[in-house]
Every structure is written in C-alpha cells, then in structure tokens.
Chain A
Amino acid sequence: MPTDALTRADAALPLAGGSRGERARRRMAHALDWLFAGTVASSVYGAMRIGIAGIFLVRHADWLRPWVYLEHHRFVRGLMFMDTSALAPRLRSPLVPFLTLGDTTTHVLVYVRTGLSLLLLLGVRARITAALLALVSYLLFAADRYRYYHHLHLLYVTLFWLALAPIGDSLTLTRGLARLRARFWPTAEQPTAVSLRRASSPLWPLQLLRAQALSVYVAAAVSKLDASFLRGDALRELETAWVLKGAVWETARDALGYGGVATFSAGTELMIALGLAVRPTRRVSVLLAWTFHAGISLCMPVYSFGAQMAVLVFAFWPKTTSNPA
C-alpha cells in the first residue's frame, strides 16, 4: 500500500462543471481528500502501538498481580483463556457459529497471542504482527460467547486499524538498536542516527483511528439516551450491586443525583465526540476525555476500557499538516 501522502494541491480538485453525478463524485473525492490528505509526526503511531500492546499484555494475563490488583485478576490466572478445565460434555456456545476450538488449539493460540503481543510492543514486523494478533485474539474470543466484553472487542478492532498504520516506523527495537549502532560504531555504509528517524507519516490511518474513537463515544452516548437511563435507574442498580462505589461516585451522586449523573455522563460522551471532531477544541477535548475516563475508573470497574480510550484519544493530540480539517 503506498504510504506517500497527498498534498493539498492534489486535494484541490475543480468542483464546477460536468453533470450532476460528475459534480457529486468530485465533491465526494474532494471531501475524502480533505479528510485524509496530509501528514503527521511518525511518533504518534509508535506511541499508540506501544500503548495498545502494553494494555494488551496487562489485560491478557495476571503478571502485575504481585504489585497491583486489577479487576480482571478476579478470574484470570496466568494467561487469559488458558483455563480449559471444564469436563466433557462441555457447554459450547461460540460467538461465530461452529467455531469451536480444541484444548490444544486454544493453548497454542494463547501462546502465539502472547508472543505476538510482545513482538508488537517491541515493534518487530509491527503491521503484520498487529494484524495477526488481532486475528488470533478474535479467534480465541469468538470461540466462546461468554468471553465477550466490549473493551476486548474494542482492543482487537483497534489492532486491526493499527495494522493499516505505519506503526513500525518509530519507537521500535530494531530502529533503536540501529540508532545505537550508528551512534557508537559509525561506518560509511550505515545510516546515521538522524536518518533513521522518520519525521512524518501519512495522516489517513490516523484519521481512521480517530473515526473509530468518535464512533465509540457517539454509540455509547446514543445507547444511554433513553428515559430509564436518564432517570438514573441503571446507576441506582449499579450502586445497589456494589459496582458503583467510592468517594468520587458518592460526591457526584450527592451533588447531581442519579438522574443528573446519568445525564452528565451521556452528555459528556457526546461533548467529547463533538469537541474531538473540531480542530479548535481538539486538545481540550482530549484532556476532558482523559479526566472523564479517570473519573469513571475511580467509580466502577471498567477493566482496561479507560486506558484503551485514553490511548485512542491520543490520536487527536498531534498537530497535522496539509490538512485543513
């Protein structure tokens, strides 16, 4: 796939003249170029790769248990999905019809998944690694519908989108080693440390990641726009079930009431989406989103969802060039 970015001149197509269909086609082409043409600092892709791979490694095992207790440690011992101890006949209810994996296949895929996530963190063959990791993870995920969690689905889909991006162009092990070699043992044939730094990358993969983040916020908000949620019924029940708790929750509840917190949360999700979509409010909205997710994480267990959204929202932080959006 060519990775050269379109320039603004390329994007400036004549809009007048021709039939109505022709004009509509040109307008669509112009809109797509306006949205996708441009460049961005390469490091944003490397940072997002490291963030997502790090979250993946933490969420799919209990390695951090000795130091910090995370929500998934309640049911993950060792590597996630490794427990195949149920006796035959076993309940089989795959998410994808007929996708049932044997125990050996499951164990092999879990090891492959772990290896791929390490490679992704280091940036080894990053794009193909991300694609394979998404595929293997989704295969394991879809083999039992009880494995479904929104945040895991989001994590795997994000990997698919990252696989389209030049995530191996910066902050990788191989580039780091090459730079060290170039710095300490320079030879005529070797590239210099400076030339190994890729300054900019095409914008279009980042725009797709941004589009994904916006759709998550809008979808989450839209699903909350019903009378029962906005009255605070769900929050009241979550509190009864000890899912919502803590000082932050109690302060918010006492200040706004159940309905007020419900309306605030749906409204904030919509506001974040709107703010991120428009350049002047983008960075403020990134900060708002990070604060919002930190607040939610202090009130209720959301596994790695908040951290994942924090990484996804980071896609809106860097400045872009050749893009009037």
Chain B
Amino acid sequence: MPPRPVLAVLLVLATLPPFVAQASGSVVGSYTMFNRIERYHVELGVVLPEGERRVLLRSLAQHLTHESRPILLPADGYAMGADQVDVVAETLPALARLCCELYPAARAAHARLVRATAAGTHPREQTSELTCPPTR
C-alpha cells in the first residue's frame, strides 16, 4: 500500500476534479450531462479592402475537422446543444484565425456566438475579433 499522504492525494484526485470543473465553468471533466439545452448561432465575418463580408460556416466545411462539422455547420442557422455550446465558445478565436487564413486580403476577422436558452430567453453574446497578420 502506498504511503498515507500519497493515498490522500489520490483520493482527492479521484473525487474532486468534477466539482472543480463545475465551479470553474469548464466542460472538461464536469459530467454535466443533459442538465441544460441551449440554442446557438455563429456569425463569422472578415474585413476586406472593399468592405465587410459575412463568411458562412458551410463555406468552411472542407476546412473543418471531422469532429467539428456536426457541431459547427448547423450553427449558420440556430443549432441546439448542451456542452457543445461551451466548446464552440472556446473555438471563436480559432474560427477568426481560420477566416484570416482563408481570406489573405482580410485586415481583420471576427467570430460571434449568440446563445440563449432553448426557449430563446436569456440571450448572451460572445465575440472574438482578430487583426489578421499583414504578410501572408
């Protein structure tokens, strides 16, 4: 049997992570299964020399990973989900970066997530804006 302090640490590691994850708002390891359903919508856009342009998620389909397609593609309209909404929220900077890479002339890109309860109440917005690197 390992020394008692090691056992105490192992016991803490076996029990506390889900509660720490929930308290910190992290999806990973929180085991918050089906406790809420949200409606979410993603808008992408780039700033080109000729002006702003909206980028549809479905136009990015072939650049999306196999696992991200079923979660992101419906979000051009209004998608429903639980934990995947938090995953999308974490991805906004990466989506803006992808827009910059796909539109070499773009000066900036943004990714905006609108989420609300399934009934459409308590809407919240989250935006990631990125200045595209000048030389690409």
Mark A residues whose CB is within 8 Å of B: 1-6, 28-29, 32-33, 35-37, 75, 81, 83-93, 95, 144-148, 150, 153-154, 157, 161, 164, 202, 204, 208-209, 211-212, 214-216, 218-220, 222-224, 226, 228-229, 233-234, 236-238, 240-241, 300, 302, 305
Contact = CB atoms under 8 A, between A and B. Distances in A.
B14 A215 contact: yes
Contact of A145 (B11, B22, B64, B90): B90
Given A144-B68, A154-B31, A215-B15, A228 B36 contact: yes
B36 A229 contact: yes
A215 B16 contact: yes
Contacts, number: 157
Contact of B14 (A37, A81, A161, A236): A161
Given A5-B1, A90-B98, A209-B14, 10 more contacts: A81-B67, A91-B63, A91-B98, A153-B28, A164-B10, A219-B31, A220-B31, A229-B35, A233-B36, A234-B34
19 contacts: A4-B1, A29-B4, A33-B4, A91-B64, A93-B68, A144-B67, A146-B68, A148-B28, A157-B29, A161-B14, A208-B14, A209-B14, A212-B15, A216-B18, A223-B30, A229-B36, A234-B36, A234-B82, A300-B34
A150 B31 contact: yes
Contacts of B36: 226, 228-229, 233-234
A99 B81 CA distance: 26
Contacts of A202: 1
A241 B83 CA distance: 15
B102 A237 contact: no
A288 B21 CA distance: 27
B22 A219 contact: yes
A78 to B, nearest CB: 12
Interface of B: 1-2, 4, 7-8, 10-11, 14-19, 22, 27-37, 60, 62-68, 70-72, 80, 82-83, 87, 90-91, 94-95, 98, 101-102, 117-119
Given A32-B8, A91-B98, A148-B27, A75 B66 contact: yes
B21 to A, nearest CB: 8
A5 B64 CA distance: 52
B58 to A, nearest CB: 13
B7 A224 contact: no
